[in-house]
Amino acid sequence: MRQAYLERFLRYIAVDTQSDEASATVPSTPGQTGLAQSLRDELVAMGLERVKCDDNGYVSAILPANVEHPVPAIGFIAHMDTAPDASGAGVNPQIIENYNGESITLNRELDLHLSPIEFSKLNNAIGKTLITTDGTTLLGADNKAGIAAIMTAIEYLQQHPDIAHGDICLGFTPDEEIGRGADHFDVEGFGAQWAYTVDGGEEGELECESFNAANATVTVHGRNVHPGTAKNVMVNASHIARRFANELPADDVPEKTEGHEGFFHLHHMAGDETTATLQYLIRDHDGERFNQRKELMLNIADSMNSLLGELRVVVEIKDRYANMHEEIIKVPHVMNIARQALHNCGVTPIEKPIRGGTDGARLSFMGLPTPNIFTGGHNFHGIYEYLVVESALKSVEVIAEIARLTAIQDEK
């Protein structure tokens, strides 16, 4: 199993599948199409049924049940794209066997190191095998570790026909990192009654809560003239944008929050005297607080426009997804099976809210309850990303055990 997993993971991360929010195509980048077609061919070679790669780059397949009694069809889903935050081209993975707990040199020339002082989770990986970057790209564990785990688990079930299971539906999606992963997902055609995204981090993560999420664009319209004659004439859009940002709570930012705490995340800004823009992520697990955050941004704009005497600050807010807990709580057996699977595999469940997004957050409101399970990856979206191989293999075991428990429980 270990060799099969590693071969897959290293092959998948060699394909540049970084998504692009500025693109209007689906998938947003050609590399995702290439990986989708490769996965389709691999699934066909494995002998799965109803293998499909549709025009939008969504890959699906079914491993048929090997029992005669009725068993609910379940699904496992992972996304193919990597985040726009760091390059996914030319990934050069480094494999560290029997990690000794010391700082890992990622790139000597760039003086980049992966240190347990800065990344304390490394202390839990002493004696294990790590896969890191070379400090110039992300690794791609988010979420090719999930794809490799699902594919390896399916292969394992094929090799062990004594393990009972119902129909297992597989789905690999494009553009999750830019919020579009569920846009063209065919829930009815997928065929599962519930599913699990394999898109979490450290070993044991099991998540059925997500943020309520929105994106906000703040556009400031100024008026520019020569600075030498600017008094009482110039309206500097960049200064106004700075004042807007300062009106938001200073501690409600990702770097100062955790757990169920929400935030405003300023992730992009640009501007000059004429026009300035601020791009925000608005996140909160609590629905009421989430709406209050959106209202605050609109109120700040109204107040500033009133002081300016004209409409110069425009806030556009677009909701992205809601807290999937609202839907998953209606089907408690979905989480109970996953909890039992983790325990049976010797993994202590770490149940906590997702401080990010998964396809499951949207799919749960599309009629497919979809909590999230771990992959063994850490430090996603950047050059310090790494994968703990032993944890990744535990995710393979958990997937197979969820399939087995579903079949056994239904038989009882």
Q: Are strands 74-79 and 194-198 parallel, antiparallel or unpaired?
A: parallel
pLDDT in tens, 92-137: 999 999 999 999 999 999 999 999 999 999 999 999 999 999 999 9
Let me know whether 223 and 206 are in one domain.
no
pLDDT in tens, 205-249: 999 999 999 999 999 999 998 899 889 989 999 999 999 999 999
Say how far apart CA 390 and CA 411 lie, in whole Å. Answer: 32
Let me know whether 232 and 202 are in one domain.
no
Let me know whether 55 and 159 are in one domain.
yes
Q: Report CA dihedral (221, 227, 230, 233) to the nearest 10 degrees.
A: -20
Q: Determine which one of 16, 42, 81, 284 is catalytic.
A: 81
Let me know whether 23 and 151 are in one domain.
yes
Q: Which amino acid is at 77?
A: I
Which of 305, 321, 337 terminates a domain? The answer is 321
| Secondary-structure percent of the chain, ordered helix, strand, coil, rounded to 5 | 35, 25, 40
Domains identified in the chain, total number: 2
Which of 321, 347, 380 terminates a domain? The answer is 321
Query: In the prediction, which pLDDT does 357 show?
Result: 72
Backbone phi and psi for residue 37, each to the nearest 5 degrees, phi listed first: -65, -35
The pTM score is 0.90
Which of 262, 294, 321 terminates a domain? The answer is 321
- Both tokens of residue 267? 């992730």
49 catalytic residue (yes or no): no
Let me know whether 168 and 309 are in one domain.
no
What residues are paired with 356 via a beta bridge? none
Residues 6+ away with beta carbon under 8 Å from 268: 277, 278, 279
Let me know whether 401 and 343 are in one domain.
yes
What residues are paired with 18 via a beta bridge? 82
- Both tokens of residue 279? 């791009």
Let me know whether 278 and 361 are in one domain.
no
3-class SS letters over 175-213: CHHHCCCCCCCCHHHHCCCEEEEECCCCCCEEECCCCEE
Let me know whether 307 and 335 are in one domain.
no
Produce one character per residue of 176-207: b if its CB has 16 or more CB atoms within 10 Å, e if not.
bbbbbbbebbebeebbbbbbbbbbbbbbbbbb
Structural domain of residue 95, as residue ranges? 2-210+323-411
| pLDDT beneath 50: ranges in the chain | 412
- CATH no. for residue 251? 3.30.70.360
DSSP assignments along 53-113, one per residue: E-TTS-EEEEE--S-SS----EEEEEE--B-TTS--SS---EEESS--SSPEEEETTTTEE
Let me know whether 174 and 285 are in one domain.
no
Let me know whether 155 and 69 are in one domain.
yes
54 catalytic residue (yes or no): no
Let me know whether 50 and 167 are in one domain.
yes
- CATH no. for residue 143? 3.40.630.10
Query: In the prediction, which pLDDT does 410 show?
Result: 54
Query: In the prediction, which pLDDT does 412 show?
Result: 46
Q: Determine which one of 176, 199, 203, 207 is catalytic.
A: 176
Let me know whether 289 and 345 are in one domain.
no
